[in-house]
Amino acid sequence: MIVFTGVAGSGKSKQGLMLADNLGYPWLSTGEFLRMLVSGKKRHEMIEGKLLDDKEIIQLVQKIFSLINTREEFIIDGFPRTVAQADCLLNQMKHGQLNITAVIHLTASEAAVEQRLMSRGRRDDNKVAIRARFDEYQQSILPILDDFKLSGVPVYDIDGEQPVEVVYQSIVQALKH
């Protein structure tokens, strides 16, 4: 499994899908699954920038994992987003249920993220929600990277503000190591 992580708008989905298409791997985007499956009050909360709780998102991801052969390489983006979610993956890795090949951490400034997200026109891309996502990234995603590193998983920091093809080539080069 190759995990794509970073703040919303850093290019995780675009780069993850490009890599999956070029390598012939399944691509799992938790954001896409959430937009397809979550409705009602939870959907309104998502639009406001709130996350599902760890138990709910872990259950959803486990359902997604049941759709593919997790013994073969695949790409996931948008998960994990909390230490508890990362611990779940690392525990599965420790017990031989998953192999985490690498974590691709796409970095981007708050200004670049806001510009990208506001231009894509989704209802959940408003200034308040974007600010909440950036805060969540700093408080939750950054500590996860340390957990992966401590568990021996290679973590590659890639500048997501570069042109799409440059970012992609940086990812390919990182994965060759």
What's the CATH code of the domain at 107?
3.40.50.300
pLDDT for position 46: 74
Helix residue ranges, H only, the chain: 12-23, 30-37, 40-47, 54-65, 83-94, 110-120, 127-136, 142-150, 164-175
Q: What is the mean pLDDT of residues 83-101?
A: 95
pLDDT for position 122: 79
pLDDT for position 161: 97
- Whether residue 47 is predicted with pLDDT greater than 80 in this model: the reply is no
- Whether residue 40 is predicted with pLDDT greater than 90 in this model: the reply is no
36-40, 67-71, 103-107: least confidently modelled range: 36-40
Into how many domains does the chain fold? 1
Q: Which pTM value belongs to this model? A: 0.91
- Domain residues for the domain of 114 are 2-175
Q: What is the mean pLDDT of residues 14-30?
A: 96
Q: What is the mean pLDDT of residues 90-108?
A: 96
Contacts of 160 (CB under 8 A, 6+ apart): 6, 10, 11, 15, 106, 107, 108, 112, 167
Q: pLDDT category, 49, cuts 50, 70, 90?
A: low
DSSP string, 20-61: HHHHT--EEEHHHHHHHH--HHHHHHHHTTPPPPHHHHHHHH
Q: What is the mean pLDDT of residues 132-152?
A: 92
